[in-house]
Amino acid sequence: MNGKSRQDIDVARLRSHHLLMHRIRALEEVTLKAQDDKLVFGAIHPSIGQEAVAVGVIAQLTRRDLLLSTHRGHGHTLAKGASSTAMFHELLGREGGACAGKGGSMHIADFSVGMLGANGVVAANIVIAAGAAHAIKLKKEDRIVACFFGDGATNRGPFLEGLNWAAVFDLPVLFVCEDNGYAATTRTRAMTAGPGLSERARALGLPTVEVDGNDVTAVEIAAAELIREVRGGKGARFLHARTFRMTGHTGGDPAVYRPKGEVEAAKAHDPIARTRALLIGAGVAVDMLDADEASAYAEMEGAYRSAREASFPAVAEALTDVQDVGSPLVEAF
């Protein structure tokens, strides 16, 4: 975003992105509070610091487009249009949850907005995305798939399988790697051979773009061009967004493996602070931006309050939404 003049900036659009990034961060921070309150079931994986990737990419998608996410998927889900209230009900395992309280943090899905689901298995969503994209192609539907995953996923088998399948069959899918430098608690570069993950995608024939993942404008521009090509029938594309998560791997991870000063240094590149500075430079009043931030936190506090007050699902609901084809001994033989 450096060097942009006021005339270069779509202020209304950038302010919308700024608000959405605040909504994502507020959701994450209130979720961490809920965990401290011992009301969240299971692990949560915050994406604080990575908001610009979710916002910049998903701004290019339509409601009909499909989305696959990771265990770190709150931001993607919210950006795709899911209800924050339904998400908090899901996080707390309550009635009214996006998945009826059965999915929790790592498995939130909302088919009504094209969100096919987060996934607790690293890289597993990549092959699901390839399958969804292949279905779209076979059915000749006018939509695409966006698949988010972390840099750690590039060292797992489904990365090769999914990208290879998408490249062989020219599938309508954008693969987005949110490269935050860590695979859980391990430096990704310490466990990754060769010239890097972008070169792995290029080796499979996928046109690949690398971008500053903490610059929402740069992400949006790169994603817009790649998505235009995907929609145009040119096949799969790959976006490598370098970013940084400011928390540990999970909500309970103190991140003692990080070098001293790393997080403080990263705050200089906070995507929300960078966007705020650009908007102020473009003439947007500080109190308006403060109001956007306040509204984001008020929304998430309200959603959390609604979830706390909601009932747990009835025990009889446990076996609904479960496929029962009968005993294989009877039905299959």
Q: Tell me the pLDDT tens digit for each residue of 48-65.
A: 999 999 999 999 999 999
pLDDT at 248 over 70: yes
Report the chain's mean pLDDT, rounded to a whole number.
Answer: 94
Hey, what are 332's tokens? 């299959």
What local confidence, expressed as pLDDT, does residue 5 receive? Answer: 44
Take residue 6 and report the two structure tokens written for it: 């006021």
In the chain, where are the structural domains located?
6-311
Average pLDDT over residues 71-89: 97
Bridge partners (DSSP) of residue 178 are 150, 241
pLDDT at 2 > cutoff 60: no
- Give tens-digit pLDDT for 99-129: 999 999 999 999 999 999 999 999 999 999 9
Residue 316, by phi and psi: left (phi above 0), alpha (psi -120 to 50) or beta? alpha
Percentage with pLDDT > 90 across the chain: 90
Q: What is the mean pLDDT of residues 277-303?
A: 97
Residue 3 has pLDDT above 60, yes or no: no
Please tell me what DSSP assigns to residue 111: G
Q: Which pLDDT score is estimated for 331?
A: 64
CB 225 within 8 A of CB 194: no
E strand or H helix that includes residue 242: strand 237-242
Stretch 253-264: mean pLDDT, rounded? 92
CATH code at 6-311: 3.40.50.970
Nearest to 159 by CA among 134, 194, 124, 199: 124
Residue 1 has pLDDT above 70, yes or no: no
Strand spans (E) along 118-205:
145-150, 173-179, 182-183, 186-187
Rounded-to-integer distance, Cα 71 and Cα 51, Å: 15
Confidence of residue 40 (pLDDT cuts 50, 70, 90): very high
Residue 124's Cβ-side half-sphere holds a number of Cα atoms within 13 Å equal to: 11
Query: For residue 56, what pLDDT is reported?
Result: 98
Q: What pLDDT is attached to residue 13?
A: 96
For the cut 70, the answer to whether the pLDDT of residue 78 exceeds it is yes
Average pLDDT over residues 232-247: 97
What value does the mean pLDDT take over residues 85-101?
96
Greater confidence, 196 or 52?
52
* Residue among 251, 184, 239 at smallest CA distance from 206: 239
Place of tokens 């604080």: 48
Task: Tell which residue, 151, 137, 127, has the closest CA to residue 68.
Answer: 127
Beta carbons within 10 angstroms of residue 185's beta carbon: 13
